[in-house]
């Protein structure tokens, strides 16, 4: 299962259980035979998490204590150590707050820092839950559509500035970006910081994908762009994507600014949340012991991406974007000349591949599809063959 020299991900696959979103997505096809579907939508990896994570959970079960969580100081120290080692930035432990996942944390931040009808800016196409949480908190969704240049996304702050109405209060930047996998350069992040400073906006930087970067690339965590540049930011990170433990539902909300931190903590307290014991324990052990797993994983995923892109980009009508990070391919189907809906149905019922449709990611996403490549190379190859046979 685990090779002496590292992880053999071809043989380190988790079973997909009935009580999972990945399985629900297959059931939602309403097909009589669901066995042949490739579930490449939901962003859970197909792999088991690091072996130490599994053995820790087994040990917890053996001990038989399933009560409330304690030990946050140890968890916080591990977060600061992780960020220092991996991202060259060491927050103070007391800056690290936790939440039941980053989407929940964004909701709490919206309530802490903004009022109903305030404008919240996102850079589309982007992770669909941003718009859901903004809308369901009755804030105004402001989408700044990114520009696609030479097959890569760029922020369009000039256009955004021209559209500003005066009610904008907060910006959410996904860094690295999902979908499209862009790693924002230091200069691009400085531009965002100055934009926020100029317009008196609070900035949330969602860095949930910060560890999932191609081995040859480097993500720059926002606080490293320069200490005195801009203080009104909230950095969100998590172990859940990095180590495939999203069911642990936890995330880190790191706020160096005292006044922002105080406001966030009050709003978080008002939710009644206390840490999920299992998520916290698994996250901590993953940070402590998951280094080998992660570095092997990144090599494996990069190989999958190359295979996928290479095969898909041979087709005249499809363009798979060059991705710097994440394990999510983003493919443009507009040249097929068919609608997103038809392409979606074709992918689902003819190719038997479940993907995420681009329009759910907002402006600029229409007729793109997102495919999760954190799965076996065999399955990635199978998916390209199926796509080829129906879209060539
Ligand atoms: C950018 C981004 N933020 C947040 C999440 C989800 O975070 P959580 O499960 O902690 O709510 C995802 C999941 O894919 C994501 O891509």
Cβ–ligand 1 contact at 318 (below 6 Å): no
In a domain, 59, yes or no: no
Distance of CA 323 to the CA centre of its chain: 14
Whether residue 212 is found in the same domain as residue 272: yes
In a domain, 256, yes or no: yes
Whether residue 304 is found in the same domain as residue 200: no
CB 207 within 8 A of CB 178: no
State in Å: Cα 272 to ligand 1 middle.
Answer: 21
Helix (H) or strand (E) holding 122: strand 119-124
State in Å: Cα 102 to ligand 1 middle.
Answer: 6
State in Å: Cα 130 to ligand 1 middle.
Answer: 9
pLDDT 10s digit of each residue in the chain, 392 long? 454 469 999 999 999 999 999 999 989 998 888 888 999 999 999 999 999 999 999 999 999 999 999 999 999 999 999 999 999 999 999 999 999 999 999 999 999 999 999 999 999 999 999 999 999 999 999 999 999 999 999 999 999 999 999 999 999 999 999 999 999 999 999 999 999 999 999 999 999 999 999 999 999 999 999 867 789 999 999 999 999 999 999 999 999 999 999 999 999 999 999 999 999 999 999 999 999 999 999 999 999 999 999 999 999 999 999 999 999 999 999 999 999 999 999 999 999 999 999 999 999 999 999 999 999 999 999 999 999 999 98
**Predicted pLDDT at 69:** 96
In a domain, 56, yes or no: no
In a domain, 60, yes or no: no
Find the domain containing 20 and state its range: 2-51+291-391
Whether residue 255 is found in the same domain as residue 295: no
Cβ–ligand 1 contact at 45 (below 6 Å): no
Whether residue 221 is found in the same domain as residue 322: no
Cβ–ligand 1 contact at 298 (below 6 Å): no
State in Å: Cα 391 to ligand 1 middle.
Answer: 30
Structural tokens at position 343:
């392409």
In a domain, 62, yes or no: no
Q: Which of 272, 289, 306 is the last residue of a domain?
A: 289
Cβ–ligand 1 contact at 251 (below 6 Å): yes
Pocket-testing residue among 40, 103, 125, ligand 1, by greatest number of atoms within 8 A of Cβ: 103
Whose structure tokens read 């969580």? 69
State in Å: Cα 325 to ligand 1 middle.
Answer: 15
Cβ–ligand 1 contact at 343 (below 6 Å): no
CATH number, residue 305:
3.90.1150.10
Cβ–ligand 1 contact at 134 (below 6 Å): no
Q: Which of 289, 319, 334 is the last residue of a domain?
A: 289
CATH number, residue 275:
3.40.640.10
Cβ–ligand 1 contact at 127 (below 6 Å): yes
Cα Rg of the chain, angstroms = 21
SS3 219: coil
The torsion angles phi and psi of 196, rounded to 5 degrees, stand at: -65, -40
Whether residue 155 is found in the same domain as residue 212: yes
Whether residue 269 is found in the same domain as residue 301: no
Cβ–ligand 1 contact at 290 (below 6 Å): no
Whether residue 201 is found in the same domain as residue 137: yes
CB contact set of 310 (below 8 Å; sequence gap of 6+): none
The torsion angles phi and psi of 330, rounded to 5 degrees, stand at: -130, 110
Total domains in the fold of the chain: 2
**Predicted pLDDT at 35:** 83
């Amino acid at each position: 299962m685990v090779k002496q020299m590292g992880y053999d991900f071809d043989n380190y696959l988790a079973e997909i259980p009935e009580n999972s979103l990945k399985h629900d997505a297959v059931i939602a096809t309403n097909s009589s035979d669901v066995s042949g579907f490739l579930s490449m939508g939901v962003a859970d990896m197909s792999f088991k998490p690091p072996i130490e994570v599994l053995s820790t959970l087994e040990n917890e079960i053996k001990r038989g204590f399933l009560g409330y969580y304690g030990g946050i100081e140890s968890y916080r120290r591990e977060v600061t150590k992780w960020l220092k080692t991996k991202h060259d930035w060491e927050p103070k432990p007391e800056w690290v707050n936790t939440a039941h996942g980053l989407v929940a944390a964004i909701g709490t931040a919206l309530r802490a820092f903004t009022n109903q009808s305030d404008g919240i800016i996102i850079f589309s196409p982007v992770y669909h839950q941003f718009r859901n949480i903004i809308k369901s908190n009755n804030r105004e969704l402001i989408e700044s559509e990114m520009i696609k240049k030479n097959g890569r996304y760029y922020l369009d702050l000039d256009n955004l500035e021209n559209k500003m109405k005066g009610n904008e209060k907060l910006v959410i930047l996904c860094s690295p970006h999902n979908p499209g996998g862009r790693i924002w350069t230091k200069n691009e992040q400085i531009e965002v910081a100055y934009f926020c400073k100029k317009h008196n906006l609070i900035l949330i930087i969602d860095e949930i994908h910060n560890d999932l970067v191609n081995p040859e690339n480097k993500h720059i965590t926002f606080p490293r762009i320069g200490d005195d540049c801009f203080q009104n930011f909230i950095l969100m990170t998590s172990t859940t994507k990095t180590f495939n433990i999203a069911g642990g539902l936890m995330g880190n909300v790191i706020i160096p600014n005292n006044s922002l931190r105080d406001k966030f903590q009050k709003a978080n307290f008002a939710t009644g949340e206390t840490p999920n014991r299992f998520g916290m324990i698994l996250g901590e052990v993953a940070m402590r012991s998951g280094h080998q797993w992660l570095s092997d994983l990144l090599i494996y995923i990069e190989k999958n991406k190359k295979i996928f892109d290479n095969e898909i980009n041979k087709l005249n009508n499809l363009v798979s974007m060059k991705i710097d990070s994440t394990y999510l391919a983003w493919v443009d189907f507009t040249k097929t000349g068919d609608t997103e809906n038809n392409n979606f149905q074709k992918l689902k019922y003819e190719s038997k591949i479940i993907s995420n449709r681009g329009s759910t990611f907002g402006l600029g996403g229409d007729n793109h599809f997102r495919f999760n490549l954190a799965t076996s190379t065999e399955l990635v190859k199978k998916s390209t063959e199926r796509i080829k046979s129906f879209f060539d």
